[in-house]
Amino acid sequence: MSKDKGDKCFSDGECGFGLQCNDGVCVKKKEMDFGSSGKSGNSCNNDADCIGPGKCVKNNFGKGYCSGN
pLDDT in tens, 7-52: 999 999 999 999 999 999 999 888 876 655 668 889 999 999 887 7
Secondary structure E strands in 1-69: 19-22, 25-28, 43-44, 56-58, 64-66
* pTM (2 d.p.): 0.77
Helix (H, G, I), strand (E, B) or coil at 3: strand
How confident is the model at residue 1, as a pLDDT?
Answer: 78
User: At residue 53, does pLDDT exceed 60?
Assistant: yes
CB 54 within 8 A of CB 65: no
Alpha carbon distance 60, 49 (integer Å): 19
Instruction: Note the pLDDT of residue 34.
Output: 66
CA 56 to each of CA 1, 11: distance values in angstroms, whole numbers, following the listed order = 23, 19
Model pLDDT, residue 13: 96
